Structure 1
Amino acid sequence: MQAPKFAASRSFHKELKLRTTAYFTEAGKDTTGDSRLFAKAVILTVSFVALYLHLVFLTPPTWLALLECALLGLVGSAIGFNVMHDGAHGSFSKSKWVNQFASFTLNVLGGNSFMWNMKHNLIHHMYTNVDGVDDDLDAQPWLRLSSTQTRYRFHRFQHLYFWFFYALLFIAWIFFMDYQKYFKGKIGEMPLKKMTASDQGVFWGFKALHLFLFVALPIYSVGFVAWIVGFLVFTTVVGFTMSIVFQLAHTVEHAAFPIPHEITNKLEDEWAIHQIKTTANFATDSKVISWLVGGLNFQVEHHLFPNISHIHYPALNKIIRQACEEFGVEYNEYPKMRYAVASHVAHLREMGRA
């Protein structure tokens, strides 16, 4: 399908950019990360490497190894949320190569930064919650996330079994979904941008490195059985953690799922209003959650200004809320994470009904 078009008016987005620019100018701050983000990156990276080395080379007792594998998954997810995500959006640092270095943490963990840029930065951030374009909604046939998708009888139980498929996300991503996009040349129905020789080298080189670091070397060091158990614990923790954080942002009760006009292929709202209607925040008062998920609980702010580092989202939150009140735009936010989880489950239950 062709990518839809947004409404021509951009007055709301223009006003948001003016107010945001004024804030950074008056505060004398850069829009990228600062020492807080760099310190967090060091803490998370050192923790991940230490856990990996201890698991692979020092062979802890079984109970401790399983605990460390789960912790490795949580730390790996945090690196994805905090380091890779900001780096991929060019907001980690003012330096282009530092941003690229940060985004390449995804490649080491088994994903691919080129595919992520196409799927997440270019498609998801532009056409959020538009079924058939936003690949994040495509969990078919196992899950029905939008009312425009085909409903199967087993979907009436999806609010009970969703966690299983969320846990499988990461292992499916690194061993199947990236390769599917590569060989099909498409992300969903959207064509994949042509990969350069450098992109090809990064894709295959880091896939090989990941197989060595997370498959071959651990099997050689601790044996196949110990590796497969630990690897499954690690990947299921990463998969579930990443899935639930991103799903709470868009597939909840109050998020919109816009449908382009069948003739003009236009969406009802301008891009900025579309982002607010399709997105929800959660637990923005929790400093612990904000630190761990890299500000992805401030999804409204992130979708409106993806090139601004997440460390600035609490300040942007106040600016955007005020503008929404003045322009009559509904702002979606759940005060607690558990409320957002409950809303996501309720949404799945509703999508599973006839």
Structure 2
Amino acid sequence: MALPKFASTRSFHTELRTRINQYFEESGKQMTGDFRIVLKAVLLVTAFVGLYIHVVFFTPPLAWALLECALFGAVGAGIGFNVMHDGAHGSFSEYRWLNKVAAFTLNVMGGSTYMWNAKHNLIHHTYTNIDGHDDDIDIQPWMRMTADQPRYRLHRFQHLYFWFLYCMLYISWIFVMDYQKYFSRKIGSMGLKDMTLSDHLVFWGFKALNLVLFVGLPLYIFGFWGWLAGFMISMMVTGFVLSIVFQLAHTVEDAAFPVPHATTGKLEDEWAIHQVRTTANFATNSKLVSWFVGGLNFQIEHHLFPKISHVHYPEISKIVQQVCDEFNIKYNNYRHTRTAIASHVAFLRQMGQAA
């Protein structure tokens, strides 16, 4: 499948970059993270390790243990949002080695930074919401996420059963989808570049480590049923939290799903306008939401400037909104998380019922 081509005009993107660069020059701030992201990373990683040690080696009563497993899953998602995500984009720190360490947390938790870089940084951030290219909206046959995807009878109920599928995301991700990508050498229709020996060793080494830490050792200590209960609770919490945050950014009623020209493969918009039209923010006035999701509720700013750390999004969002107004580009923003979820549910229902 030929890659889509964006419009050659770049006036909107040029103006945005000029004003954002001016903001950082005048403020004297680095575009990467500061002490706030480091403190958050230390807190989250410490909580993650502490919860693991307490549950596995100092087993609390059943009800308390299950509660800690749920919290463990939420903290794991928080590390993904705040540490791994910025690190993978090179925005966690001005030091390259520290970005690599931050990104490497994904490997420890069972994922693959190699696959993530190709799937998320390269494909999703370039071809956002383009069916056949953006792997994030390919949940077929279980869900229909664009009007161009085939519709099956079960999709009539996808706005009801999506909760369960989202809970299964993380399990499917680290135990199925990473291996599918590894052996097929593809993500969707796009091929992967050749892996080096180091890439192969990291992939298999950390997959094995994850199995030891989260399957083998707990299974040995708690037995099958005890391990299964704690494992499923933590993994389902992680999966749902990760899923819902990323889905609220792109699969809501106001997000666009552009279709390239059938012959030329060209898109109507330049890349930056495409990113704004296909993306939505939510709960940007909530400091708690912004803190936990690593600024990913400012998804428009993130897609426009992925190399800028999320700690700066609240400030630069004002600039982005102003430029969008001047260029008459709709800036999708849901005031509350609940309204964004309601829009996502309505979108799923619409996709499930459309002919």
- Counterpart in the other structure of 2:179: 179
Deviations 1:167-199 (A, max 9, x none): 000000000000000000000011011111111
* Pair 1:159-2:159 in alignment: yes
How many Å apart are 1:223 and its aligned residue?
A: 1.7
* Pair 1:122-2:122 in alignment: yes
Give the AA of the match of 2:54: H
In terms of mean alpha carbon deviation, does 335-344 or 219-228 score higher? 219-228
- Counterpart in the other structure of 1:69: 69
Distance 1:281 1:194 in 2: 35
Query: Hey, which bits of structure 1, 4+ residues long, moved more than 2 A?
Result: none
Distance 1:300 1:350 in 2: 24
Give the AA of the match of 2:212: F
Q: Which runs of 5+ in 1 are unaligned?
A: none
- Counterpart in the other structure of 2:2: 2
Give the AA of the match of 1:223: G
The normalised TM-score by structure 1 is 0.99
- 1:11-90 to structure 2, matched below 5 A, reads 11-90=11-90
* Pair 1:350-2:340 in alignment: no
Give the AA of the match of 2:196: T
* Pair 1:273-2:273 in alignment: yes
Deviations 1:89-136 (A, max 9, x none): 000001111101000100011000000000000000000000000000
Distance 1:226 1:268 in 2: 54
How many Å apart are 1:37 and its aligned residue?
A: 0.5
Deviations 1:283-324 (A, max 9, x none): 000000000000000000000000000000001100000000
- Counterpart in the other structure of 2:99: 99
Is this contact kept in 2: 1:324–1:330, CA < 8 A? yes
Give the AA of the match of 2:321: R
- Counterpart in the other structure of 2:217: 217
Distance 2:16 2:292 in 1: 27
- 1:126-141 to structure 2, matched below 5 A, reads 126-141=126-141
Q: Secondary structure at the match of 2:168?
A: helix
Distance 1:251 1:198 in 2: 36
Deviations 1:29-60 (A, max 9, x none): 00000000000000000000000001110111
* Pair 1:194-2:167 in alignment: no
Give the AA of the match of 2:44: L
- Counterpart in the other structure of 2:242: 242
Give the AA of the match of 1:23: Y
Q: Secondary structure at the match of 1:223?
A: helix
Give the AA of the match of 1:199: D
Matched length: 354
Is this contact kept in 2: 1:59–1:222, CA < 8 A? no
Give the AA of the match of 2:330: E
How many Å apart are 1:3 and its aligned residue?
A: 1.3
Give the AA of the match of 1:50: G
Give the AA of the match of 1:110: G
Distance 1:133 1:56 in 2: 41
In terms of mean alpha carbon deviation, does 295-304 or 196-205 score higher? 196-205
- Counterpart in the other structure of 1:110: 110
Distance 1:101 1:23 in 2: 29
* Pair 1:230-2:224 in alignment: no
How many Å apart are 1:225 and its aligned residue?
A: 1.3
Q: Secondary structure at the match of 2:16?
A: helix
Same amino acid, percent of matched pairs? 66
